[in-house]
C-alpha cells in the first residue's frame, strides 16, 4: 500500500477522491494515478536543522563612489 495525495477529482464505483485528500491505495493503483498526473506520492517530512552563520566572518563589500560632476 502506498499513500498518495490527490491533485484532481476522481470518482468510480468504490467512491470519490477529492483534491488534497490523502489516501492509501494498492501499489499498482497508486502508481497509475501518479503516472497519469492525478496524484503525487506523500512524502514524509524530514526534520532539518538550520544553523546561523558566525558573526563578523565576512567583510562588507566596499563600493566605489562615482565622482560628482563639476559645474
pLDDT tens by residue, 21-52: 999 999 999 999 999 999 999 987 766 767 77
Task: Give one DSSP letter per residue of the chain, joined into a string.
Answer: -EEEEESS-EEETTEEE-TT-EEEE-HHHHHHHHHTTSEEE----------PPPTT-SPPPP-PPPPPPP-
Q: Is residue 58 part of a domain?
A: no
Q: Over 90: is that where the pLDDT of 71 sits?
A: no
Residue-wise pLDDT tens digits, 47-69: 676 777 666 666 666 777 666 66
Q: Is residue 24 part of a domain?
A: yes
Query: Per the confidence metrics, is the pTM higher than 0.85?
Result: no
Q: Which three cell numbers stand for residue 65?
A: 563612489
Q: Is residue 32 part of a domain?
A: yes
Q: Is residue 41 part of a domain?
A: no
Pairing of strands 2-6, 10-12: unpaired
Q: Is residue 11 part of a domain?
A: yes
| Res 32: pLDDT | 94
- Give the count of domains, the chain: 1
Q: Which three cell numbers stand for residue 1?
A: 500500500
Q: Is residue 6 part of a domain?
A: yes
Amino acid at each position: 500500500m502506498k499513500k498518495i495525495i490527490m491533485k484532481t477529482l476522481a470518482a468510480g464505483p468504490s467512491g470519490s477522491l477529492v483534491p488534497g485528500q490523502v489516501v492509501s491505495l494498492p501499489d499498482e493503483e497508486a502508481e497509475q494515478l501518479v503516472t497519469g498526473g492525478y496524484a503525487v506520492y506523500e512524502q514524509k517530512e524530514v526534520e532539518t536543522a538550520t544553523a546561523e552563520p558566525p558573526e563578523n566572518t565576512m567583510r562588507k563589500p566596499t563600493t566605489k563612489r562615482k565622482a560628482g560632476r563639476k559645474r
